[in-house]
Structure 1
Amino acid sequence: MTTRTRLWIVIGAFVTALCLGLGATVVVLFFSARAASQPSAVVASYLSHVERGDIATALRMEGRAAKPTEVLLTDKAYRHATDRMTGFRILDTRTVGAVSTVEARIEQKSGSTTAKFELAKRRDPASLLGVGTWKLRPVALTTVEVTLGAPGRIDATISGVPLGWKGAVLRIHAFPGKYPVAVTSQSPWFTIPSAAVAVAGFGHSDRFQLPATLTAKGEEAATAAANAWFDKCVADPSFHPTGCSFWLTSGADPGEVWANQTWQVQSRPTLALGAWDFGCRTPTTADVSAGGCWPVTTSTPGEVMFHADYSIPATGETGEITSTGPIEANVEGSITSFTDAGAMFTSVLWTD
């Protein structure tokens, strides 16, 4: 065997080994790419990003555009959350045509939930080679309705970022976790405690309501405003004070003249202030407003009497008239806001 022959044998062996190596590498890469492109692997990658707090990458995977109003869908907000995802497990994968649904168990310290994720098969060159790629569809995140039970604009943060509360219900999405809420603005009339929005798993609809509590100064101002409304009614000399809770069924008869009409308080109604009512709405509440108020009711009705001097010019007759008996007087309405001067009381509409 010549030297040249041996050289060609070596070269042939090298080329053969190289081809076998490349072939094996291609096969490995093919099956690795195929495994990585499977729906369960895509969902596992997505959930791994969420578990690590890489929210930006997770959002890109599902094609969700970042919006300023989605204050919890950021790395920063999730970094401040507690009870975050601690793990997950793929439970099932079902594929029908170009749509695949993956079910996973989501683990948090507070418990576990299940969630389903949908993927659509992509049409690209890789699919011709048997390596079909799957795209995660927008995930059904939990939607939270956030309402602060207090009048006016309140400065507050949620999970370390500004909440953006302007008096209207906020509907925001969130990943699994517990997000602390802290009110940074101060009011002499009421206080709002710190709390947390708890989100378990994916795809739920939750409501978070945080009510304010009147301070002693706020209660005093609210009571004063309701009493001022009552005093204004008492000061009205008409037999049917406008918008008030007491009145006479009729006024002066034809040919009769009344003068010096007064309402005299026999006893004042005893007032009761309720906790913040999220369902309260007044005629002046804007449609976009979350509404709410501190309700004012009467625990013990008061009593008033009507007095007037009368005369009948045709006959010259004069005298005094009074109501036939004490008339019940009540106060019912709501405290909807405060100004520097005090509380704003709105009465219910009183009708005959």
Structure 2
Amino acid sequence: MTDQHPDGWAAVPHVDGIRGTREPAAPVPTPAATGRPRRRLRRRTLVGIVAGGAVVLLLAVTGVVGWTVQSSSHAADRPVRAFLDDLTAGRVTDALDAAGIDHDDQDVLLTDAAYAKASDHVTGYRIAGTRTDGDTATVQAVLRQDGRDVPTTFTLDRTDTDWGVFPVWQLEAPELGRVEVSVEGPASTAVEVAGERVETSRDGTARLAALPGTYPVTVDGGKWFTAEDGSARVAGFGAAGSAPVAMTTSLTDAGQQAAQQAVDRWVDGCVASTDAAPAGCSFYAYGEDPAYTYSNQKWSLEQRPEVTVGGWLARGWAVSTTKAGRATYTADISGPGGVGTASAGPMNVNASGYISGFSDSGATFESAIGNGASDSGS
């Protein structure tokens, strides 16, 4: 191959000998020229300053977030929300503990099981407002129950502070409503409320503390009497409780039969007496002559009274005589005029009164008429 350059490679100038038209670079001021010593920031120092600023900013943000979180967690409505959250979830035991509600074994409706058998529970709520006055706070809440809004007020007390700044609020136990049942029947009648068995008091009532809801009520009269089922609705909280549930009882066929047997036993007991005026009975004889001696006294029942048993009154199921019975009294006598026989009657036998209750042996009858108070004797 032939080199085309006329002088060959030896004529090409060396790179160090090449010069251009560039302007010379401006001189860098020296520390002596500026009058102050030159100071350069090292990279690590700059990174440290930036990192330190970021830490300060992060601490500030964290502080704001922490303050906000703590303020929210220490708000007066937080205990109310915790209580209502447990209640709407059916956690009765937890709800009672959260609210500080005292209860014992007599409060048979304040259990998870009983509340589960009730209906129309609190299904939701909203906090309408909070007001703080010193160490007391009131929280207005609206409960959602049975498709209705039920306004409710809760009271809280400030009991302490966290870190000396954030208040600690304690919910005052809200006053519970009550299920009130009135049974037109004997005292100590068995009643079932939401599956829990209780007995009525002497005045025929039963009162039970209850959480908001509707509770089924039934009367257990055994084979003797019954009543239509009812229900008690407790709206929200407070002393008002439910409208009293009146349970009207009526005798079953077995109860009617037992009532008739009780009346018959009473009549038979009066007739079995040898007294001219049997105690507690509706018939009697009078006019005995003290100069004579009486023996072999007896009553004879000529006709048994007919009765009907009606509804419950203050003392029991009313027994009315629809047709009076008849009884005759006889006795042997002896005296100044000789010996002979004395008789009285026939007398009306009135069996009006009350069936006051039942036991395993049957019904108990109490007469409303004693010793012929409404009858005439002879």
TM-score band by shorter chain is 0.7 to 0.9
Look up the match of 1:314: 336
Look up the match of 1:302: 324
Whole-angstrom CA distance in 2 between matches of 1:70 and 1:47: 20
Alignment pair present for 1:337 and 2:358: yes
Relative to 1, partners in 2 of residues 1:157 and 1:329: Cα closer, same or farther, differing over 3 Å? closer
Whole-angstrom CA distance in 2 between matches of 1:108 and 1:140: 17
Following superposition, the deviation at residue 235 of structure 1 comes to: 2.6
Alignment pair present for 1:138 and 2:173: yes
Whole-angstrom CA distance in 1 between matches of 2:229 and 2:170: 40
Is the contact made by 1:258 and 1:308 (CA closer than 8 Å) also made in structure 2? no
Give the SS at the match of 1:39: coil
Look up the match of 2:234: 199
Relative to 1, partners in 2 of residues 1:39 and 1:3: Cα closer, same or farther, differing over 3 Å? same
Q: Which TM-score applies when normalising by structure 2?
A: 0.73
Is the contact made by 2:284 and 2:347 (CA closer than 8 Å) also made in structure 1? no
Superposed CA offset, 1:83-117 (max 9, x none) = 11132233444433322233333221263333222
Look up the match of 2:213: 177
Give the SS at the match of 2:51: helix
Is the contact made by 1:192 and 1:211 (CA closer than 8 Å) also made in structure 2? yes
Following superposition, the deviation at residue 119 of structure 1 comes to: 0.9
Look up the match of 2:124: 87
Give the SS at the match of 1:165: strand
Relative to 1, partners in 2 of residues 1:16 and 1:301: Cα closer, same or farther, differing over 3 Å? farther
Higher relative contact order (CA 8 A, sep 6+): 1
Is the contact made by 2:321 and 2:352 (CA closer than 8 Å) also made in structure 1? no
Superposed CA offset, 1:233-265 (max 9, x none) = 1232312111112224x4522212334444455
Following superposition, the deviation at residue 137 of structure 1 comes to: 0.8
Amino acid across the alignment from 1:225 = A
Superposed CA offset, 1:42-73 (max 9, x none) = 32332232122222322122123453332222
Give the SS at the match of 1:228: helix
Whole-angstrom CA distance in 2 between matches of 1:27 and 1:247: 98
**Unpaired runs of 5+ in structure 2?**
1-37, 374-378
Relative to 1, partners in 2 of residues 1:320 and 1:75: Cα closer, same or farther, differing over 3 Å? closer
Greater displacement, 144-153 / 102-111? 144-153
In the alignment, which of 276, 282, 289 is matched to residue 239 of structure 1? Answer: 276
Relative to 1, partners in 2 of residues 1:221 and 1:110: Cα closer, same or farther, differing over 3 Å? farther
* CA-atom RMSD in angstroms: 3.4
Is the contact made by 2:216 and 2:229 (CA closer than 8 Å) also made in structure 1? yes
Q: How does 1:1-352 map to 2 (within 5 A)?
A: 5-65=42-102, 67-109=104-146, 111-126=148-163, 128-129=164-165, 131-146=166-181, 154=190, 158-159=193-194, 163-165=196-198, 168=201, 170-181=206-217, 187-191=222-226, 194-203=229-238, 204-206=240-242, 207-208=244-245, 210=247, 213-248=250-285, 250-265=286-301, 268-276=304-312, 280=315, 294-300=316-322, 302-309=324-331, 311-316=333-338, 318-323=340-345, 326-327=347-348, 329-339=350-360, 341-348=361-368, 350=370
Is the contact made by 1:189 and 1:338 (CA closer than 8 Å) also made in structure 2? no
Whole-angstrom CA distance in 2 between matches of 1:17 and 1:150: 81
**Number of residue pairs aligned between Structure 1 and Structure 2:** 329
Give the SS at the match of 2:198: coil
Is the contact made by 1:222 and 1:335 (CA closer than 8 Å) also made in structure 2? no
Is the contact made by 1:85 and 1:107 (CA closer than 8 Å) also made in structure 2? yes
Following superposition, the deviation at residue 225 of structure 1 comes to: 1.2
Superposed CA offset, 1:126-166 (max 9, x none) = 4x31x212110111111224567578785x76445xx2435
Relative to 1, partners in 2 of residues 1:232 and 1:115: Cα closer, same or farther, differing over 3 Å? same
Relative to 1, partners in 2 of residues 1:73 and 1:10: Cα closer, same or farther, differing over 3 Å? farther
Amino acid across the alignment from 1:230 = V
Following superposition, the deviation at residue 231 of structure 1 comes to: 2.2
Whole-angstrom CA distance in 2 between matches of 1:225 and 1:40: 63
Relative to 1, partners in 2 of residues 1:70 and 1:305: Cα closer, same or farther, differing over 3 Å? closer
Whole-angstrom CA distance in 2 between matches of 1:328 and 1:343: 20
Amino acid across the alignment from 2:51 = F
**Unpaired runs of 5+ in structure 1?**
281-293
**Percent identical:** 28
Look up the match of 2:13: none
Amino acid across the alignment from 1:337 = F
